[in-house]
Structure 1
């Protein structure tokens, strides 16, 4: 049997949630479990995050999966609803609904529903979803006192919170403050939410009543200048495989498709039973770290669909030796950097043919 697996440490996930609680003790936590909990498994992750105040999903299908699995934690639909029928369905399940455009507002105000928790999203500069600031007062006024609305909140999303020297985050915070003042938001009655993982860690002035941690829950740093370990976070996903062959190569011989890697001496390469068909990034370059039996090595050549090669120099490596592609010894952030991507994408792209194993 092929020995590869994706090990998810639910204890580490709970630890990281507690870390958020420690950092922002006065804020309610909306834990992000969208996109299959960033590839970690929607139901196991949501179950482990039972102490969160709410769970954040992108759309209705994810929320219904949670309810079908018996998850009772409040759930917020971050993209809102996509039809009047979904508005009714959201009301039946008491989902928290984000309203970010005029059509959703009309659906809500014409629906036969009552006392829903509604988040109004304002576009403070990211220019994806949200009402423009100059339109917010009209929207807020329409919702205040409407029978469909039980509790009203104001949220936004920060575009550059991971870049500490970028002045655009402060511009967004200033815009959000003006929006709060314009709608005369009532503290402790009408709530606010601004902070993603990067803002939780790097922008204390951006906390609001609710924080929305995502990446940091899964044990990865959202701040390029700081490691997850330095932030008190534990990796949740470990991607493991094994050495299936060891090849002797002569000086000046190449390895893999495209002949991109050349041996500078007579040496060995180890072949590992994991490739882009399993979700390992094909864009990973020769600086990408890989651990074999606890020792760090580097990728050799282009990642194939079912395997990859590792430069082990003159070392002796046994067949079947354990390989960690990322996890406790190799940070996912390191692999992401070498592959010109983000840890978010690495986690989400681990494919279904890799067995998942959950640690309690």
Structure 2
């Protein structure tokens, strides 16, 4: 039993994978770092592991890779976040593929006979070699990252730089640069696309050319329902005062669960398709909503994300990006695979 659930629609997740592959004509490296963007890496990988369209998984650090291996993941796992001293044994023991982006990473891996992939910084200013070519018999792949996919001029410049780099390599198994948004460029010389957000049905841009189905439903239960009189304060700092007798519900979901406090007074939750205004400040574990003209009762589910709004919709109201909302989802939210 749980007070809050993130429900994962497997059928739609699989369909999104197939749609992305059809559009790009390339297999997917599924990005499941940060607990699959908060969705649940174990649950997501258990579904994607059996799909021929998914060639590999990508995580941020060794610890995430180890967790997936212990959970039974068999496919290739790339560790995107570099290599630190002391991690070399884990790469061997758990058959993880390091992505090297600095000479120090290569030093750590000296004498270790495992496949490696090399990252190049073509205009992100984060991880990656600039113009220094890595000549190493262990190199099986090269990659880069588009910093601003909506900026076509900069993206084209990055693609050109990356293509010049790839020409110095032969017999690569993996060449990848396209992200969820980056698939719009149909880069002809890459072998894979590296996808995170779009897998989960969240569109990285308006007019996205790939038809995506919603994968996630986030909901929480009502803890209390009562009618407050006119002039009654609601939440911390008396941040809302009722202007008439108001039926107020307390939802078991707050900023500790991932509903950002900045959404106070801006966002709606939903009950059977009816929008419920959030009243006053969102608190750590609870949010208050206006239940006027509903028959909602204690124990009923209230929708936070689902049929009526996406993480992208909430992110716009919060002045952020859906990645931040999703990765802040609490571990106390039960992940349910449908």
The CA deviation at 1:65 is 1.7
Q: Distance in 1 between matches of 2:67 and 2:316?
A: 33
* CA distances 1:102-138 after superposition (whole Å, capped 9, x unpaired): 1012233x22x33x332111111111101112xx23x
Aligned to 2:76: 74
Q: Distance in 2 between matches of 1:71 and 1:322?
A: 33
Q: Distance in 2 between matches of 1:35 and 1:347?
A: 10
Q: Distance in 1 between matches of 2:283 and 2:269?
A: 15
Aligned to 1:132: 130
SS of alignment partner, residue 15 of structure 1:
helix
TM-score normalised per structure 1: 0.84
Q: Distance in 2 between matches of 1:21 and 1:323?
A: 34
SS of alignment partner, residue 87 of structure 2:
helix
Q: 1:279 aligns with which of 258, 261, 269?
A: 258
SS of alignment partner, residue 205 of structure 1:
coil
Aligned to 1:336: 315
Q: 1:160 aligns with which of 148, 153, 157?
A: 148
Aligned to 2:96: 95
Aligned to 2:13: 13
Are the counterparts in 2 of residues 269 and 309 from structure 1 also a CA contact under 8 Å? yes
Aligned to 1:215: 197
Gaps of 5+ in 2: none
Q: 1:180 aligns with which of 166, 189, 198?
A: 166
Q: 1:261 aligns with which of 222, 240, 252?
A: 240
Q: Distance in 2 between matches of 1:4 and 1:67?
A: 28
Q: 1:192 aligns with which of 175, 178, 186?
A: 175
Q: Distance in 1 between matches of 2:17 and 2:84?
A: 30
Aligned to 1:354: 333
The CA deviation at 1:324 is 0.6
The CA deviation at 1:288 is 1.1
Say if 1:54 and 1:318 are closer, same or farther in 2 by CA, change over 3 A.
same
The CA deviation at 1:176 is 1.6
SS of alignment partner, residue 75 of structure 1:
strand
* CA distances 1:128-159 after superposition (whole Å, capped 9, x unpaired): 101112xx23xx2x32xx3xx1x432211111
Aligned to 2:117: 119
Residue correspondences, number: 335
Say if 1:95 and 1:354 are closer, same or farther in 2 by CA, change over 3 A.
closer
SS of alignment partner, residue 13 of structure 2:
helix
| CA-based RMSD | 2.5
SS of alignment partner, residue 63 of structure 2:
helix
More helix by share: 1
SS of alignment partner, residue 167 of structure 1:
helix
Q: Distance in 2 between matches of 1:167 and 1:250?
A: 58
The CA deviation at 1:355 is 2.4
Larger displacement relative to structure 2 (268-277 or 73-82): 268-277
Are the counterparts in 2 of residues 173 and 206 from structure 1 also a CA contact under 8 Å? no
Aligned to 2:43: 44
Larger displacement relative to structure 2 (120-129 or 242-251): 242-251
Are the counterparts in 1 of residues 219 and 305 from structure 2 also a CA contact under 8 Å? yes
Q: 2:299 aligns with which of 303, 314, 320?
A: 320
